[in-house]
Amino acid sequence: MKKISVLVMAIGLLFSCQDDKGFYLSGKVDGMEDGQKVFISEIDMQSRGPKTVDTAIVKDGKFEIDMEEQEMPNLNFLRFEGRNGNVVFIAENERIDFDIDKDTIYNSVVSGGKENKALYEYFDHLKALNRKMMGMQQDMRKAMMSQDTAKLQELQEAQVALRDNDRVFKENIFEKYNDRFVGAMVLADMLNMKTHTNEEVREKFEQLSDEIKKTSLAQSIKEKLDNSSATDVGSKAPDFTAPDPEGNTVSLSENLGKITILDFWAAWCKPCRQESPNLVKTYNEFKDKGLEIVSVSLDRPGQKDKWVQAIEDDNLGAWTHVSNLQFWQDPVARKYDIKSIPATFILDETGVIVAKNLRGEQLRTKIGELLK
């Protein structure tokens, strides 16, 4: 009977362990007072900002909390009430331990889970790369001030070599972890930091595991790749509709000229405002030959008055203006994968992109060539 009872207990324990899904966070925070809150947050891929999902409390120099099961891994971080900095980790259905440095939160140590092991292998590389880059930049400034051209050239060559090494490291760690969330993070860095072409990232995206392709990060990478290919030179510019300053709905396709400059800018953007005189000069020179301009503003919600005032102040009112007043979340900007402004696309009379991101004299010269 005892053997049967032990067997029954073992089976019960086995099934109870299987039912205990989710993941568990446990942290040591020596020196922090009892009652201090620990906020567990995740990145909201829509707003690109943090979203608090749970809270733990420090007691006797420790905190712990059971979290709900994750359908798929996601980037999370800990933030401590009243303290600067956060601790990045990947939420996965494993026990995750934290050894918190209360004075320098960024130096805290994370352990547990295959995803976090891969994450901090990648982070260690990025930290070392950043230290070396910053040191080189300081040395380059000194060389420039002392007019040491030989030293400056040596440092520039070293910087190129460092970037090449970073490129190779990213490729190697992606090959190692393309079945993990870190693989998607590496692809996002390749894309955002321009260390690889869109075609190279697209090819590597197909090597991600089916599970990782379903994550919100991977889906955002796919969206960027789709949008960027849609706005490559030689592609038909995506059509759009948006309100003009009077509230009328305006489309790109209805405002095409023989050549059209599609201009992304904002009233708050100093480089955009500095470029305004060049744009006005180019328009005045070529408007009678078929040049049109459609300007899309990335001004903030509730700041229509600043947008309209900037149009007037910079003498831009001769051509078409639109804005959804949604800042970087503007749907037109997202469709064109706009990450910085000013940004320009030059379209032919059929709406095909023939050049992009030209300014000043380069822009004027290109427009002149196209309208010859």
Q: Does 4 map to a domain?
A: no
Residue 2 confidence (pLDDT): 38
Is pLDDT of 216 > 70? yes
Q: Clarify whether residues 261 and 359 are in a common domain.
A: yes
Specify if 132 maps to a domain: yes
Lookup result for tokens 């489309």: 251
Give the count of domains, the chain. 3
The residue among 126, 121, 130, 43 whose CA lies nearest residue 79 is 43
Does 210 lie in the same domain as 285? Answer: no
pTM of this structure: 0.62
The token duo for 221 is 């990478």
Q: 106 falls in which pLDDT band (50, 70, 90)?
A: confident
- End of a domain among 87, 107, 127? 107
Quick one: pLDDT at residue 47?
A: 60
Query: Does a structural domain hold residue 339?
Result: yes
SS3 content of the chain, % helix, strand, coil (to 5): 45, 25, 30
Q: Are residues 300 and 337 in the same domain?
A: yes
Domain membership of residue 282 as a residue range: 241-370
Same domain, 129 and 75: no
**What CATH code is carried by the domain that includes residue 66?**
2.60.40.10
352 DSSP assignment: B
Domain end marker among 71, 88, 107: 107
Kindly tell me if the per-residue pLDDT of 347 is higher than 50. Answer: yes
85 and 161 both lie in a single domain? no
What is the C-alpha to C-alpha distance for residues 290 and 283, in angstroms, rounded to an integer? 10
pLDDT tens figures, 63-76: 999 888 878 888 89
At 31 the pLDDT is 84
Assess whether 220 and 290 both reside in one domain.
no
| Highest mean pLDDT: which range of 41-45, 196-200, 262-266, 359-363 | 262-266
pLDDT greater than 50 at residue 10: no
Task: Determine phi and psi for 290, rounding to 5 degrees.
Answer: 115, 15
Confidence (pLDDT) at 46:
60
Which range, of 32-41, 252-261, 265-274, averages the lowest pLDDT? 32-41
Q: What is the pLDDT of residue 16?
A: 36
Task: Find which of 133-137, 150-154, 258-262 is predicted with most confidence, using mean pLDDT.
Answer: 258-262
316: in domain: yes
The pLDDT value recorded for residue 5 is 40
214 and 278 together in one domain = no
109-131 mean pLDDT: 91
Lowest-confidence pick of 148-152, 254-258, 319-323, 364-368: 148-152
For residue 12, is it within any domain? no
Are both 211 and 130 inside the same structural domain? yes
Mean pLDDT of the chain: 88
CA distance 28 to 162: 36
Is residue 304, in this structure, part of any structural domain at all? yes
Both 353 and 304 in a single domain?
yes
Tell me the average pLDDT across 344-372. 94
Do 366 and 249 fall within a single domain?
yes
Domain identity same for 203 and 91: no
Helix (H) or strand (E) holding 91: strand 86-91
In a domain, 66, yes or no: yes
Distance CA 104, CA 108 (A): 7
Residue 10 lies in a domain: no
Of 228, 238, 178, residue with least CA distance to 199: 228
Say if residues 283 and 353 touch (Cβ distance below 8 Å).
no
Give the domain CATH number at 362: 3.40.30.10
Residue 53 has pLDDT above 90, yes or no: no
The predicted pLDDT at position 21 comes to 52
Shared domain check, 218 and 134:
yes
DSSP assignment of 74-100, as one string? EEEEEEETT-S-EEEEEE-SSEEEEE-
Residue predicted with more confidence, 176 or 192: 176
At residue 45, the pLDDT reads 58
Out of 210, 230, 250, a domain closes at 230
